Structure 1
Amino acid sequence: METMQLLPVKTNAILPVSRNNNLGYTPNIIDITPLVERPLEKGKAKHFIESNTQEVDIFHLKNECVVPVFSKDNELTISHPNFIETVWEASNKFFPNERFLEPDIRVSHVIKGRIPEAIHKPVNQLLDRDKTIYYERMAFCFEIPSIHEDIEGNRLNLTIGGVRAYNHENLYSKKGVEKFKVFIGFKNLVCCNLCVSTDGYKEEIKVMSIQELFKAVITLFQQYNVARHLHLMSSFKDSYLTEHQFAQLIGKSKLYNCLPNPIKKSLPSFDFGDNHINAVAKAYYNDENFKIEEGANAINLWRVYNLFTTANKNSYVDNLLDRSLNATDLTAGISKALHGDNEYKWFIE
């Protein structure tokens, strides 16, 4: 398979090359107008996360939500819309000729308040203008459909996004570094599962300003090896688990969190809980797109990988990307174990 190459931002260009050299896009320079002011192409109705989240748009976040502050010095945090627009601007800088879809924004854990003038009002007398809200947790992503690949009939669009969770900040202190999660990877359009790799994910970006955040996002884009990521995922379709090995994987996954600490520390990290494992087991026979084929006695790792990333869509926002990466590491490790490597052998032996 010929590969796709992303050039560093210093070249002011993106040179995509697909396996068939048929990305099929028309170059279109996109200015960095604030997201809320610019019409965008609508994405699909499916979402990359479900769980207890709800869909919102950038207008709602900018105009109908308050911004939390660090209480000891009353300094503003970097708001959710600031975060989204900063990643959006960095993406436009790095990919100046590409076509972007509208961000899919999901929020959870609403924090309700009221304006000072309404402090003493009974709840049943509160007007809409008296109430304030913000969301403790927010995740977003947007696709770049002009950069894509196909694996086993599944179209994958290059996708960029991030997570912000105020529960990971100490808002009762003075302003300090703020933490963000950002990724660049792919979305499987069959199911909207996110495909995340080690070099395309920064699990904790610590910054003091939007400018620092912008630079950190650009650095992440520069270090991401899209060709290596696609090659890894494509290789999954060539390795298979027998039904016995898949059953071992499910059973060992359930045992993992019950292991004594010394044994657990000797094994690779496994971040999925019982509810996720139950969903994977059920989907093995029932998933519309990735179940084992009728009459087959083995399932390939591309399908197994997508069973895990589908189950991950029921994670909380702040765990979503960590588990997305863990699904990649787990599948890659099992693939190596099938060819004699010992690191992940425990999961299938």
Structure 2
Amino acid sequence: MQTALSTLQLQPVSRFNTFPSRLNDSFRPPIEVEAVEVIEDIVTPQFSKRLPFIEANTKEVTINHLKDECVVPVFSKDNEITISHPAFIEAVWSAASKVFPRESIEKPSIRVSHVIKGRTPEAIHKNVKDLLDEDKTIYWERMMFCFEIPSICEDIRGNRLNLTIGGVRAYNHMNLYSKKSPEKFKIFIGFKNMVCCNLCVSTDGYQSELKVMDVRSLFNSAVALFQDYNMAKHLYEMGGLQESYMTEHQFAQFLGKSRLYGFLPKSEQKKLPQMLMTDTQIGMIARAYYNDESFSVPQGSKEINMWNVYNLLTGANKSSYIDNFLDRSLNATQLAEGLNKALYEDSEYSWFIK
């Protein structure tokens, strides 16, 4: 099967294999790419159940829940409706179908958090104890989704990586009390490590603050991001991590310096690369160094593979809230690549391990 990337000149680590999709018949590319595809819920086979790609305080929902059981917020000054969560998901899914028309695309996995409760106008004067289900309204302040394209994959150190696309919507990053203005979204294309469901995001595969007024602009921006993403380069850089090792002393230095980072004088902090992990997440990385089932240091060894270090970082990031998740995911990639360079030469990341 020829993939949409057959014209790329891939480095040795980058081999694209084809696998049959479990949900191959459930989603079909739009017949007309100018129309946004409508995604319907389908029953997922039990054997396809996987670990969540994000944990924190999130809840898994279906797209039908978002369509049928949630209201859509408006800009209060002019009562203009916002782009709904389902419309966002369907626009990105349609963009992926346009860019990868020959690939099998699985259904979206959707996580939400921070429910906003309300009530219908007819129930305004009811006591809380008297409210019926039909009197209540909800919408989710924060939503993240991703879907896999399993026919485009790679293997790094025995870990299968599936091409993955997704996005984040966080109403708390917008002013809904104003007139209608450009709405903010985050979209990405990268890989999901199927061993742990950690997401791997690179700089050119992530748009951190996409501002659009309508679904058409959202669709076009997603298409542009997917077309500009250098998949071969991303895979090559991740594959290169397996050739490097960090000593126990260097890893301990990294953890200690990471804790110090947040307390540095601002003038000193500005001279260093950004480090977005929280103290709690640094503690999780330390614990996983010895206890993670897939990426801990080998028993009796005094060094750890940089591919494993990267996965310890992305694993800790799964505890982030939805609105911070993708920024920290990209930061984990930058940290791993920067630390890898610092092992061999003077680099801006040397402070973390010396």
Give the aligned residue type for 1:279: M
Give the aligned residue type for 1:153: G
Identical residues among aligned pairs (%): 60
The alignment status of 1:234 with 2:229, answered yes or no, reads no
Distance 1:207 1:21, change over 3 A: closer
Give the aligned residue type for 2:215: I
The alignment status of 1:192 with 2:178, answered yes or no, reads no
Residues 326-345 of structure 1 aligned to structure 2 (within 5 Å)? 326-345=331-350
- Work out whether residues 291 and 303 of structure 1, in 8 Å CA contact, stay in contact via their aligned partners in 2: yes
Distance 1:241 1:5, change over 3 A: farther
Q: Which residue of 1 aligns with 2:40?
A: 36
Deviation at 1:102, TM superposition (A): 1.6
Distance 1:70 1:14, change over 3 A: farther
The alignment status of 1:149 with 2:150, answered yes or no, reads no
3-state DSSP of counterpart to 2:154: strand
Q: Which residue of 1 aligns with 2:222?
A: 217
Superimposed CA distance per residue, residues 96-154 of structure 1 (whole angstroms, 9 cap, x where no aligned partner): 11111221100000000000000000000000000000000000000010000000000
CA RMSD of aligned residues (A): 2.1
Aligned residues: 341
The alignment status of 1:248 with 2:246, answered yes or no, reads no
Superimposed CA distance per residue, residues 5-57 of structure 1 (whole angstroms, 9 cap, x where no aligned partner): 855xxxxx998988566424489892334102667777433110000000000
Distance 1:19 1:200, change over 3 A: closer
Structure 1 CA distance for aligned equivalents of residues 228 and 92 of structure 2: 16
Residues 272-311 of structure 1 aligned to structure 2 (within 5 Å)? 272-311=277-316
Give the aligned residue type for 1:154: N
- Work out whether residues 30 and 97 of structure 1, in 8 Å CA contact, stay in contact via their aligned partners in 2: no
- 1:323 aligns with one of 313, 316, 328: 328
Structure 2 CA distance for aligned equivalents of residues 164 and 63 of structure 1: 18
- Work out whether residues 6 and 226 of structure 1, in 8 Å CA contact, stay in contact via their aligned partners in 2: no
Residues 115-194 of structure 1 aligned to structure 2 (within 5 Å)? 115-194=120-199
Q: Which residue of 1 aligns with 2:318?
A: 313
Distance 1:16 1:145, change over 3 A: farther
Superimposed CA distance per residue, residues 249-296 of structure 1 (whole angstroms, 9 cap, x where no aligned partner): 000000000000000000000000100000000000000000001121
- Work out whether residues 5 and 226 of structure 1, in 8 Å CA contact, stay in contact via their aligned partners in 2: no
Gapped regions of structure 1 (runs ≥ 5): 8-12
3-state DSSP of counterpart to 1:36: coil
Residues 94-109 of structure 1 aligned to structure 2 (within 5 Å)? 94-109=99-114
- 2:74 aligns with one of 69, 74, 95: 69
3-state DSSP of counterpart to 1:331: helix
3-state DSSP of counterpart to 1:35: coil
| TM-score normalised by the chain length of structure 2 | 0.92
3-state DSSP of counterpart to 2:293: coil
Distance 1:14 1:25, change over 3 A: farther
Superimposed CA distance per residue, residues 72-108 of structure 1 (whole angstroms, 9 cap, x where no aligned partner): 0000000100100000111111111111122110000
- Work out whether residues 3 and 152 of structure 2, in 8 Å CA contact, stay in contact via their aligned partners in 1: no
The alignment status of 1:47 with 2:52, answered yes or no, reads yes
3-state DSSP of counterpart to 1:229: helix
3-state DSSP of counterpart to 2:180: coil
Superimposed CA distance per residue, residues 216-253 of structure 1 (whole angstroms, 9 cap, x where no aligned partner): 00010111000000000001111111000000000000
Superimposed CA distance per residue, residues 319-340 of structure 1 (whole angstroms, 9 cap, x where no aligned partner): 0000000000001001111111
Structure 2 CA distance for aligned equivalents of residues 16 and 124 of structure 1: 64
Give the aligned residue type for 1:31: P
When structure 1 is superposed on structure 2, of 188-197 and 335-344 the one drifting more is 335-344
| TM-score normalised by the chain length of structure 1 | 0.93
- 1:23 aligns with one of 5, 18, 21: 18
Gapped regions of structure 2 (runs ≥ 5): 31-36
- Work out whether residues 6 and 16 of structure 1, in 8 Å CA contact, stay in contact via their aligned partners in 2: no
- Work out whether residues 241 and 340 of structure 2, in 8 Å CA contact, stay in contact via their aligned partners in 1: yes
Structure 2 CA distance for aligned equivalents of residues 161 and 106 of structure 1: 11
